[in-house]
């Protein structure tokens, strides 16, 4: 279920896709975040985009997680403490999670001056979602740590995208686990039925593997709208269009494995069929230069990061970036 890490730049146009999923806040969490909701924010006098340095054509980190374990065995593993520390760093640095679905469709509804981050989880491991008999998340699972972080930092929304395979979250059972994720506002998304390497299959075979993942989700949690795919091993099928559309599925975001922030979904250069992700990694881990710690350092130090203007209906940016805007969004543009 793991893939060799390949920096996106080394892919030479081939496909390194990964998966992601998004979740949403629980009813309780939604209540807790009411003060930060758009409706509540709109009661406060809006700040001018320049005042908060709005840059809605800026870069967005889409972070990729696999397994949380006390004893990491590969670069894809992180300890629960590492994960907690990374979420708390994001919260302190004014990042607000949005699901992959909301990101790829440009529904980025976060307070003025904050930055979107997309948290994605691959392979549906039990360390991500495991429920106690009473239905609460087990200690040190990703969903438990997300919820705890949001309690400590009320602006931080506990929503993520879970890219799952068939027989997801075996300790809890896929029906129960996927339903819990949906009810708590997370996104459930596809990572194929059996984690097939799509580049090794013919067109029919790749379509079958993607369809199998879609059907497994629909069977476990009927009514789920699956709109995102992460490619196992980051491997793109041929032709690439098979990842986006086939019998029984249609995705508006397809996710890679490496190795840099995405451009804004409002930018001309945005590539919904091949969205890059950043592997979660400490500052001294293997290939750290492509990992999350170093990338978050770079985004904090530079001026390329996405900064929200607080109004989900407009796209605000310094007028010098005007040429980067997708032409389809000209009417929503607020250059300053």
The site for Zn ion (CB under 5 A) is made up of: 122-123, 232
Q: Which residues pair with 68 in a beta bridge?
A: 78
Nearer to Zn ion, 116 or 258 (CB): 258
Least separation in angstroms between CB 142 and Zn ion: 15
Angle between helices 203-220 and 174-183 in degrees, nearest 10: 80
Q: Which of 57, 256, 22, 9 is nearest to 162 (CA)?
A: 22
Q: Which is nearer to Zn ion, 156 or 162 (CB)?
A: 162
Q: How many CB atoms lie within 10 A of CB 107?
A: 12
Of 58 and 213, the one with the shorter C-beta distance to Zn ion is: 213
Choose between 122 and 196: whose C-beta lies nearer to Zn ion. 122
Nearest distance, CB of residue 307 and Zn ion, angstroms = 32
Tell me the closest approach of the beta carbon of residue 83 to Zn ion, in angstroms.
17
- Pick the closer one to Zn ion by CB: 123 or 140: 123
Phi and psi torsions of 230, nearest 5°: -115, 130
Measured from the CB atom, is 232 or 273 closer to Zn ion? 232
- CB of 268 vs Zn ion, minimal distance in Å: 30
Of the candidates 256, 273, 212, which has an alpha carbon nearest to the alpha carbon of residue 64?
256
Is the distance from CB of 167 to CB of 174 less than 8 angstroms?
A: yes
Residue nearest to Zn ion (CB): 122
Where are the strands (E) in 5-126, listed by range? 62-65, 67-68, 77-78, 95-97, 115-122
Minimum separation from the CB atom of position 41 to Zn ion (A): 37
Rounded distance between C-alpha atoms, residue 219 and residue 235, angstroms = 26
Helical H segments across the chain, by residue range: 27-32, 38-42, 49-52, 80-92, 100-104, 142-152, 174-183, 203-220, 241-244, 292-301
**Cα separations in angstroms, 156 against 39, 91, 153, 289:** 17, 6, 6, 26
Nearer to Zn ion, 126 or 304 (CB): 126
Nearer to Zn ion, 201 or 316 (CB): 201
Query: Which is closer to Zn ion, CB of 165 or CB of 292?
Result: 165
We find the least distance from the C-beta atom of residue 249 to Zn ion, in angstroms, to be: 18
Residue 232 C-beta: closest distance to Zn ion, Å:
5
In the bound complex, what is the minimum distance in angstroms from residue 194's beta carbon to Zn ion? 11
User: What element of type H or E holds 255?
Assistant: strand 253-255
119 touches 316 (CB < 8 A): no
Least distance in Å: CB of 138 to Zn ion?
Answer: 22
For residues 37 and 265, give the distance between their C-alpha atoms in angstroms, rounded to a whole number: 22
């Amino acid at each position: 279920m793991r893939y060799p890490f390949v920096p996106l730049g080394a892919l030479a146009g081939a496909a390194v896709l990964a998966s992601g999923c998004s979740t949403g806040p629980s009813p309780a969490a939604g209540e807790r975040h009411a003060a930060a909701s758009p409706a509540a924010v709109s009661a406060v006098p809006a700040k001018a985009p320049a005042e908060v340095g709005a840059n809605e054509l800026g870069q967005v980190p889409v972070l990729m997680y696999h397994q949380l374990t006390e004893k990491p065995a590969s670069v894809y593993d992180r300890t629960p403490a590492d994960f907690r520390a990374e979420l708390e760093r994001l919260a302190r640095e004014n990042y607000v999670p949005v699901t992959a679905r909301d990101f790829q469709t440009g529904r980025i509804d976060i307070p003025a001056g904050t930055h979107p981050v997309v948290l994605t989880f691959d392979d549906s491991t039990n360390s991500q979602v495991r429920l106690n008999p009473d239905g609460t998340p087990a200690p040190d699972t990703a969903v438990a740590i997300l919820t705890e972080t949001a309690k400590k930092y009320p602006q931080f929304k506990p929503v993520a995208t879970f890219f799952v395979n068939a027989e997801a979250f075996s300790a809890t059972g896929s029906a129960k686990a996927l339903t819990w994720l949906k009810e708590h506002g997370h996104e459930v998304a596809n990572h194929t039925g059996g984690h097939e390497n799509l580049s090794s299959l013919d067109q029919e075979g790749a379509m079958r593997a993607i369809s199998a993942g879609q059907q497994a989700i629909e069977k476990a949690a009927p009514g789920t709208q699956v709109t995102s795919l992460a490619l196992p091993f980051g491997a793109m099928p041929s032709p690439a269009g098979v990842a986006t559309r086939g019998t029984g599925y249609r995705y508006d975001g397809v996710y890679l494995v490496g190795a840099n922030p995405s451009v804004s979904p409002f930018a001309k250069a945005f590539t919904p069929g091949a969205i890059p992700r950043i592997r979660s990694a400490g500052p001294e881990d293997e290939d750290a230069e492509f990992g999350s710690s170093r990338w978050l350092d770079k985004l904090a130090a530079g001026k390329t990061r996405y900064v929200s203007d607080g109004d989900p209906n407009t796209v605000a940016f310094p007028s010098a970036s005007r040429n980067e805007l997708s032409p389809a969004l000209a009417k929503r543009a607020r250059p300053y």
